[in-house]
Chains A and B, each alone.
Chain A
Amino acid sequence: MKTNLNRGCAVLLALGALAVPATLSAQGRGPAPIGHTPEPTSPVTGNAVAGKALYYHYACYACHGYNGETGARIFVGNWGHLATEAQFISFLRGRANVAPVTPATSMPNFAANTLSDKQAKDIYAYIRTFKSNAPPLKDISTLNGIVADAKQQK
């Protein structure tokens, strides 16, 4: 029997802050809006195909979703520490309880002896392929309908 009250909330909030604000829609709070920081244009040297396998194998998807724009911690549109390959690797190496990097101190640490620079570059190459696929609101009739109905309720 698993439990998931205090510890769950605390650790979920503490985990995986790869980029900037969380999209966690916890009770009583609305989700954060989609971010709008520009997509990086820095060079990519890794192999995105190999990076995809690593993204799954190292369970990046558990927090960041399969596309970087859903899940508990989104980064597509909030590229923050992902601006360059070097920044990304530096970020991976400096996680909580090891060598915290302000402000995001809570993502698991990825030490060089467990995830090599080459592997990190491959992952970076893969996540740089992520694009925001969020359709414009006008193209999502379901969501439009929900807002329209709510506006009519008085």
Chain B
Amino acid sequence: MAKSQKSSVGRRGFLKSAAAGAAALATTAPVVEAQRGNNGAVAADATGAPGPTPEQLARETGNVRPPAVVRTITRPASDLMVQVAKDLGIEYAVANPGSSFEGLQESFINYGNPPNKMPEWITALHEESAITMAHGYAKAEGKPMLALLHGTIGIQHGSMSVYQAYYDKVPVVMIAGNDVDFIPAHTAHDMAAMVRGYTKWDAQPETVDDALVALQRAYNEAITPPMGPTLVVLSSEVQKANSPNTKIPAYTPPRFVTVDSTSAREIAKGLVEARNPRIDVGRLRTPEGVKRAVELAELTGACTSTAATNGPMSFPQRHPLCGPGADTNYDYTLGLETGGAQASITGAPLSTVARVRDVDHIDFGGILSPGRRGGFGGGRQAPSASPLQADAEASLPLIIEEVKRQLTPEQKARVKERSAKTATANHAARIVALERAVDAGRAGWNASPISTMRVYAELWPLIRKEDWCFSSPSSFSGAHNNQLWDHDKPYSYLGGQGAGGMGYGAPASVGAALAARDRNRIVINIQTDGDLNYAPGVLWTAVHHKLPLLTIMHNNRAWHQEYMFVEYMAGVRGRGEDRAYIGNTLRDPWIDYTKMASGYGMAGEGPISDPSKLSAALKRGVAAAKRGEPYMIDVITEPR
């Protein structure tokens, strides 16, 4: 935590008396009355901390007016905070409302001309949804949006989503309100400690000046490798302070670590002089990085691999150079955010952050086992003769310049010739893989429940000429997009949950749809049923904000993976598989997802179990999404 040493703005006393005065008007609710101790306060908990008073709870439950402000505020600090967000180009701020950030919320919706634009306030029904919306948005756009959290309770509601964003190395900037004179249970001296082990940076500034700097720094920390969620805790006093003379500090963009000039020269030499170079491309930071990777591949005629079917910001899958090439004996391989035999450039792994931040030694994810898949060490990568810890995206311009400088006319001619051969070979390989997938996809084509392959196949002709984003993890629905669809944009497929936690698909899709809304893009969410049921209220957010989102339910009416686990265990123990459905199925009753959607105002249709009716429904769904009308199609599907 970075904590300011400067004195606070000194308004606590004022606010305290104002709150007490307002609370005196309250009508005490019976439920509160029943919990009162002898002194009228709610009984202290086991730690001795007092619980909320009736007056405090009355205000929280909406029975009184907000505390009167007796002083004229000519320039609220929260306006300046919103201006910082505007200056950073932040498009959205999402929150479930909370009294600890009422000052900020009022500024977000009223400050500026026009008000409530850049950032626009987005209403969430749960903090977990809010943060995962920001997670999905960041994966689509390569930059953060804001998520606001209400005190200790908001942080804890959102903590799972923070964990996923952290594991996924996704930039999210969070602000938590801390109303120090209100309900004690909603406050803490070190609120950020609850998520410190899985955030990249946090601060609790105590002055307006420090708060503005902290917001800028939170943004910079979030977007520099290893990217991740950051948190600024702002007291209600700081938010509401009058700041007539405060100036917003000049913003200094972050510095990205690049390879040095010697390394850039050697890498360029390796690529230029190689008979058969290759570039393996992992997940870059932003669309600009993708553009640069394409430029380098085209300059050198290197065939490439891509991570575009695993997540965003990688090499275009159907680019002519993407594939195995004509000759798989590569004599120089460069890895960009992944391994490469001769050289690899990878940003700092999360373990570098965890070493500093995991002060409680929780060791999330087995961070001390670098070989373990999914650990903070970045997973297994091919060994490299020259592993370089730097940001690949920021390093690419240096390498590109070196390549341009070194390339001779003869080498340029060879690049042209090699590129043509590579394109032909890659196209042939793509057709072989596609034909194989299509042949397998015939199985169960006319079956009911509907095969997941048919869902992906029927959808593709409807979206392939659109600007689309596939926002939800596809592994549980067969991942048929891998071969059938073309992942050519940085945001074509947003990949998995990060930490493998459920409750991700729908809110991440809403976040992706926020990114899409003003960019003439549609978002496709093939939504697993178990995942949606964590926090389905996010469907309302999609409708309320008119997002171009098509949700197709992969409704197999069970948690089939866990179903198989329990079956297996019952078999090993010889006790029979016939009771494995207990706790693993969504039956008795089946859930009616279109009714659920309808309750949130979302149009839809289904359940559809006749495959012949699927295509027409999908057409209606795509058309609705293009109109900015979220739509749900409930499809009864095969388990996998």
User: Hey, which bits of chain A sit against chain B, CB under 8 A?
Assistant: 1-6, 8, 11-12, 14-16, 23-28, 30-34, 57-59, 61-63, 65-67, 69-72, 74, 76-77, 95-98, 107-111, 113-115, 132-137, 140, 142-143, 145-147, 149-151, 153-154
Contacts and interface: CB of A to CB of B under 8 A. Distances in A.
Contacts of A15: 564, 567-568
Interface stretch (B32-40, B347-355, B540-548, B553-561): B553-561
Given A2-B562, A147-B431, A71 B445 contact: no
Nearest to B163: A1
Contacts of A77: 443
Interface string B431-448: 101111111111111110
Most chain A CB within 10 A, of B447, B458, B559, is at B447
B443 to A, nearest CB: 4
Given A33-B436, A33-B439, A67-B447, 6 more contacts: A5-B499, A31-B480, A63-B564, A76-B443, A134-B445, A150-B431
A56 to B, nearest CB: 9
B422 to A, nearest CB: 12
B567 A34 contact: no
Nearest to A8: B561
A63 B565 CA distance: 11
B328 interface: no
B309 A27 contact: yes
13 contacts: A1-B502, A4-B476, A25-B480, A31-B483, A34-B439, A69-B447, A70-B443, A95-B572, A98-B572, A111-B574, A137-B442, A143-B438, A151-B431
A67 B444 contact: yes
Given A1-B502, A11-B564, A135-B442, A110 B430 contact: no
Interface stretch (B49-57, B242-250, B506-514, B577-585): B577-585
Most chain B CB within 10 A, of A31, A63, A65, is at A31
Interface of B: 160, 309-310, 318, 320, 372-374, 423, 427, 430-431, 433-447, 449, 451-453, 457-458, 460-461, 464, 475-476, 478-480, 482-484, 486, 499-503, 530, 534, 558-565, 567-568, 570-572, 574-578, 580-581, 615, 638-640
Contact of A147 (B434, B479, B580): B434
Nearest to A114: B576
A79 B160 CA distance: 44
Contacts of A30: 433, 436-437, 440, 482-483
B440 A27 contact: no
Contacts of A2: 501-502, 530, 559, 562
Given A32-B440, A34-B443, A146-B457, A71 B479 contact: no
Nearest to B461: A145
B479 A25 contact: yes
B458 A69 contact: no
A134 B484 CA distance: 18
A63 B309 CA distance: 24
Nearest to A61: B639
B597 to A, nearest CB: 23
B479 A113 contact: no
A77 B459 CA distance: 27
Contacts of B457: 142-143, 146
B634 to A, nearest CB: 18
Contacts of B577: 58-59, 108, 110, 114-115
Nearest to A60: B577
Contacts of B440: 23, 25, 30-34
Nearest to B167: A5
A61 B457 CA distance: 23
B423 A70 contact: no
A27 to B, nearest CB: 6
B240 to A, nearest CB: 36
Nearest to A151: B431
B427 A154 contact: yes
A12 B426 CA distance: 31
A89 B445 CA distance: 30
B575 A27 contact: no
A76 B447 CA distance: 14
Contacts of B476: 4
A12 to B, nearest CB: 6
Contacts of A74: 443
A33 B372 CA distance: 32
Given A28-B482, A70-B640, A114-B577, A62 B567 contact: yes
Nearest to B473: A4
Contacts of A34: 439-440, 442-443
B639 A111 contact: no
B2 to A, nearest CB: 30
B434 A110 contact: no
3 pairs of A and B residues whose beta carbons are closest in the complex: A114-B576, A108-B571, A70-B444
Nearest to A96: B572
A140 B501 contact: no
Given A59-B563, A111-B571, A142-B457, A1 B501 contact: yes
B568 A11 contact: yes
Nearest to A7: B565
A71 B561 CA distance: 12
A37 to B, nearest CB: 14
Contact of B451 (A70, A76, A114, A145): A70
Contacts of B483: 25, 30-31
Contacts of B559: 2
A107 B571 CA distance: 9
A95 B475 CA distance: 27
A16 B486 CA distance: 31
Contacts of B435: 147
